[in-house]
Amino acid sequence: MNIYDTIIIGAGHNGLVAAAYLAKQGKKVLVLERRDIVGGQVVTESFGDGFTVDSLHAGGTLRPDIIKDLNLASFGLVVDSVRKPFISLQPDSNHLVLDANPAKAVESIKRFSEKDAANWIPFLNFMDKVTRFIHAANETIMPRLPKGFNFSEGVDLAKMGINLRMMGGADMMKIIRGIPMTADEFVDEWFESDVVKAAIASLGIHGFTLGVFGAGTGYTLMHNWANRGGLSNVSAQGGVGKITEALASAVKSFSGEIRTGAEVKRILVDTFTCKGVVLTNGEEISAKNIISAADPKHTFLNLVGAVNLPPELVWNVQSIKMRGSVAKVHLLVDNIDAVVAGATHASPLPATFVIAPSIKYLEQAYDAAKYHSISEKPYLEVTTSGNVVSVHFQFAAYKLKDGDWKTEGAKVEKVAIETLAEYFPNLKSSIVNTKTITPLDMEQTYGLTEGDLNHGQIMLDQFMFMRPIPGWSNHKTPIDNLYLCGSGVHGGGGISGASGWNVVKVLK
């Protein structure tokens, strides 16, 4: 029988990063993916003729060190050289254009506040330091607190502390203070214009079920900024799917195996070790180690089974807040130039547009998530690619008070189009095809429990050494040879690959 060194459950970016590193070390690895395509959340899919979209994430990139280690350029990954301008659309058409070129951004900010314009470059410098700190934090294996803290973990943690200290006392304090702050408070320390503040604060709630007045959105703002490397994404040429395609090619080039259409039904557990997996078709596959890139809730409660796990751990896993509230609306239009004309404010396509006109607007959009409904006036982040307009829609609560996601997708689509039409008057008449992905689709099609892109919200009680659960923050589990590497572990949340990279260090 074919025994693998490691089976990796899920061919998302983290699973593939882990697989590529292990295969590169000469390990015999097998990646099992339930869908017919690899990529997980990082996929480019076609929904019809000419209607090819980045399904869930319109952009993103792996950490540069991972791209280099795995030589992903040789597997066809070309990272965009320019960062798209980040344009906050305003009802009065006086749009804020935060160009990647700081001088251009300053010019645009001046129209809102001279003082804010003067603060823009110091803010970018500070956010560079934030990015360095978060990258350092994300490559640190978190110690198991309160139990199991040992010397080697202490060394890693000390390195992270040194990184933080190297930033200088004042900036270190600013970063630490920023973590529990609200996104509103965070930007309020730098800027006075509501338009400028809201545009930046929107990043603090992007992908999260949190409002800009929520504690800890200071951290999520820094987290998203660090993963993106700025306000808007850089991406891979040809779509985000190229990232995972390159990873898959890397895995195969190192003689790793990837099987798609192979859904794991259970992890076979014998008291404190796992022997392998059984697929939904009944096939059993053995391995010395198993790494699950699926979310911790699905991994522990469905794949391992609560009966095989300590009750405190089960309780902690049940308590992980998933709470997805993102929907995606993709629109195929017949003439993209006509649609965006007048809205780009002289900035050439492609761009990232946000509907985040004020701090209060963002908080009110979030109210829908609190009350289990769909925002009437949503926070949107909009990107274009060819003739496709992709809308990231917040908030659309996974658990709806009224109605269900079998029918409410149409409402999300309608609200998204109506909202955008206020800024793009030619949009409606130009739409030729639509594809809406609801939180329920994210669960059923993409395997994200409760439609949570993060595999568990990033909140103050679910981050760093409390991610995915307190006491098990180092990729390990009570099953000796079962490891986690998805977004639900520290390093995860957003596209970076840190979690998949870190698990390999733990396995050694």
User: 370-375 — which CB contacts under 8 Å span 24+ positions?
Assistant: 370/211, 371/397, 371/401, 372/397, 372/399, 372/400, 372/401, 373/397, 373/400, 373/401, 373/402, 374/400, 374/408, 374/411, 374/412, 374/415, 375/415
CA-closest candidate to residue 213, choices 190, 181, 189: 181
SS3 content of the chain, % helix, strand, coil (to 5): 40, 20, 40
Residue with tokens 């690619």: 385
Q: Please classify residue 92 by burial: count the beta carbons closer than 10 Å to its beta carbon, then call 0-12 exposed, 13-18 middle and 19+ buried.
A: exposed
Which of 20, 134, 236, 309 touches another protein by CB under 8 A?
309
Min. distance of Cβ 449 from another protein in angstroms?
Answer: 15
The residue within the footprint of another protein, chosen from 307, 346, 406, 508 (CB under 8 A), is: 307
Q: Which stretch binds another protein (CB under 8 A): 298-306, 353-361, 407-415, 437-445?
A: 298-306
Q: Which residue has the tokens 């490691």?
A: 6
Our CB check for another protein shows the closer of 251 and 314 to be 314
**C-beta of 301: minimal distance to another protein in Å?**
7
Q: Does 305 bind another protein (CB under 8 A)?
A: yes
CB of 302 vs another protein, minimal distance in Å = 9
Q: Is residue 149 part of the contact set for another protein (CB under 8 A)? A: no
Q: Binding to another protein by residue 318, rule CB under 8 A?
A: yes
DSSP state of 55: S
Tokens of 291: 């790494």
Q: Which residues make beta-bridge pairs with 355?
A: 380
* Residue among 481, 20, 81, 82 nearest 290 (CA): 481
Which member of 79, 100, 306, 421 binds another protein (CB under 8 A)? 306
Residue 430 Cα to chain centre, angstroms: 30
Least distance in angstroms from the C-beta of 300 to another protein: 10
CB of 312: closest distance to another protein in angstroms?
Answer: 6
Q: How many residues bind another protein (CB under 8 A)?
A: 17
Q: Determine which residue in the list 293, 314, 326, 380 makes contact with another protein, applying CB under 8 A.
A: 314
What's the min distance (Å) between Cβ of 270 and another protein? 8
Residue 102, preceding peptide bond in cis (omega within 30° of 0):
no
- Nearest distance, CB of residue 315 and another protein, angstroms: 5
Please tell me the distance from the alpha carbon of residue 33 to that of residue 22, in angstroms, as a whole number: 17
Helix (H, G, I), strand (E, B) or coil at 232: coil
Shortest reach from residue 144's CB to another protein, in Å: 14
* 146 binds another protein, rule: CB under 8 A: no
For position 444 contacting another protein by CB under 8 A, the verdict is: no
CB of 59 to another protein, least distance (A): 39
Looking at the Cβ atoms of 88 and 299, the one nearer to another protein is 299
Q: Which of residues 257-296 bind another protein (CB under 8 A)?
A: 269-272
Whichever of 309 and 333 has its CB closer to another protein, that residue is 309
Q: Measure Cα distances from 389 to 46, 58, 166, 352, 446 in Å.
A: 14, 10, 42, 10, 21
Residue length, the chain?
Answer: 508
Interface residues for another protein in 452-471 (CB under 8 A)? Answer: none
Q: Which residue in 260, 308, 426, 430 binds another protein (CB under 8 A)?
A: 308
Contact with another protein (CB under 8 A) among 65, 283, 284, 312: 312
Pick 79 or 301: Cβ nearer another protein: 301
Q: Which residues bind another protein (CB under 8 A)?
A: 269-272, 301, 305-315, 318
